[in-house]
Structures are given as C-alpha cells and as structure tokens.
Amino acid sequence: MKICYVDEAGCTGHLPSATSDIQPALIFAGIIVDYSKLHEITDRVIALKQRFFPKALPITTKHMAWVLHEVKGAELRKAICSGNRNERRHGLGYLQEILELMQSCDIRITGRVWIKGIGAPIKGVPIYTSSIQSIYSDFQSYLTSTNDTGFVVLDSRLKHLNTQVAHSIFTQKFKGTGDAYDRIIELPAFSHSENHAGLQVCDTLCSAILMPMALHTYCSGYVQSVHIRPRYQDIKEKFGVEVMRLQHRYTEASGRHRGGLVVADALGGRPGGLLFR
C-alpha cells in the first residue's frame, strides 16, 4: 500500500505588477510513501524536531506530542536568508536531513509548478483541480509500475475548495468509460498537517525547497519584490540535483515523458528542466 501526501505553497491570487507583494508562484507537490515506511518516517521527523528545535516545546512534552509542532517551510526559508551564518547553516542542515530521509525511505515526488504572468489573470479553482488530477495520474502510474494500490491525503484548506477538488477526482474515477484511477482506492482525504509527518515532510519540500528553487529560476530578473532573495540560489545549488533524482518520471505508450515536477512558466515560457540546472 502506498500513500501520496499532497501540499501546496503560494496562493491563487493574480500578480498585478512586478513589485507586488503577491507570491509570484504556486506549487502543488505530492510525495509517494510506502506504508511500511510510515512509522520510520514519523519517528525520524519527530527526532529531527527535537534535535534541531529542542526549545520549541516544554521539556516535559511527551515524545509523540512533538508531531503536533510544525516546522514551517516559510520559517526555514527566512532562516536560510538570514544575515546570521549560524541560522543559515541550521536551516540548510534541517533541509538536508529531510532530503536524506526521503532518499533512504524511497520517497518519490510529483507535482505542478505554476509561475504567474505579470498582470495576467489566474483561475485558481481550475489550477487547483487540474494540479491534483495531474498528481493523481502520476500516482496511478507509480502504482501500476509497482503493482500496488494507494490513497491520497491532502492538507485541508477551505471546505468549498476541498469539495471542488474532490469532485474533480470523482468525475474521473466514476465516469462511464471507466475508472481513470482504479489503483487509488478512494477520493482524496483532507486532513490537518499537525497529525501527519508525511504532510509535514511535503510542506518542507514545497515551501522551503521547491518554492525558493522556482522563484530563483523563473522569477529573478522579472519580479522585484520581497519574494525574490539572492540566497535562494544556495538552496537550488545544494538540493536541486537531489530533488531531481527523487522525481517519479515515466514514459507513456506514445513515447511522451510524463510525471515529476511539471512547470508552467507564464513569465518566460522556459522549460521545466531548468528548475534543476
């Protein structure tokens, strides 16, 4: 049994100008985990929190309660961009440990990266639903290749967004021509990340690694705002190759390459492979 945990970074607001405070990118990512590794992943995430952030909770806090304390990707990005060398090393060290966890537990990545156009409209709900459908298709491919079944857990958002996303999967799973996701046993479950180490790992990947990589790669030179920071280059240089190797990529019968992190760049139309180069 496989589990695909899905999270997002950014927002669906349109980018009115190059200097706007609106986030210029929107990212959806899924991490595919084998259920047999779930307890190991959870224990290691808790241990990392205790090691890197020992003062985050009272000393009397029970071991399992540490899962409730989230290390947010946005805070890690802030630390890595700090003028304090120790803070930068601390943030990068935590990210390195998360990626090593992903590698040793054979976690695979899929997702969509949306780079917003300046002054261009953005349709939030269609982007949200199509991104989740894309992750479902990649997960279906992975399950087929491993002859397995699975289910999807999404970080919960607003109820009306959850409903629309779930219905978009429903239409593909129960359509008259056949189940497009026959190896995925149900519609997505929406949960709170405080209770899932898998969602917390996905948040770290989305917010602290993929978002800085995408902003540095596709928005530098186009956008001049608080979201573009020189030290994001450090994250890309340190982790880009590792992230690239963790992707679930596959080839369809038509010969078309699919999966992994797919980029839609409305600023410069540049290819997805540039995210790692």
DSSP-derived secondary structure for 215-269: IIIIITTT--STT--TTHHHHHHHHHHHHHHHB-EEE-TTS-EEESEEEEETTT-
Distance, CA of 99 to chain centre: 13
Q: What is the pLDDT of residues 81-138, one digit of tens each?
A: 988 999 999 999 999 999 999 999 999 999 999 999 999 998 888 999 999 999 999 9
Residues in the chain: 277
What's residue 167's pLDDT? 94
Q: Which pLDDT tens digit goes with each residue over 23-78?
A: 999 999 999 999 999 999 999 999 999 999 998 899 889 988 899 999 988 899 99
pLDDT of 158 reads 80
pLDDT score for 140: 97
In angstroms, rounded to a whole number, what is the distance separating the alpha carbons of residues 139 and 149? 10
CATH of the domain at 16: 3.30.420.10
DSSP for 121-162, written as a single string: ---HHHHHHHHHHHHHHHHHHHHHHHT--EEEEEE---HHHH
Q: What was the pLDDT predicted at 24? A: 97
- pTM: predicted TM-score of the whole model, two decimal places: 0.95
Question: Residue 74 has what pLDDT?
Answer: 87
Residue 160: is its pLDDT beyond 90?
no
If pLDDT is split at 50, 70 and 90, which confidence band does 9 have?
very high
**Which range marks the domain in which residue 15 is found?**
2-276
- 232-271 pLDDT, tens digit per residue, is 999 999 999 999 999 999 988 788 888 999 999 999 999 9
Distance CA 47, CA 8 (A): 24
Report d(CA 38, CA 50) in Å as an integer.
Answer: 19
Sign of CA dihedral 107, 247, 29, 49: positive
Q: What's the pLDDT score for residue 172? A: 94
Given a cut of 90, whether residue 157 has pLDDT beyond it is no
pLDDT at 33: 98
- What is the mean pLDDT of the segment spanning 197-224? 96
Q: How many domains does the chain have?
A: 1
For residue 213, what pLDDT band results from cuts at 50, 70 and 90?
very high
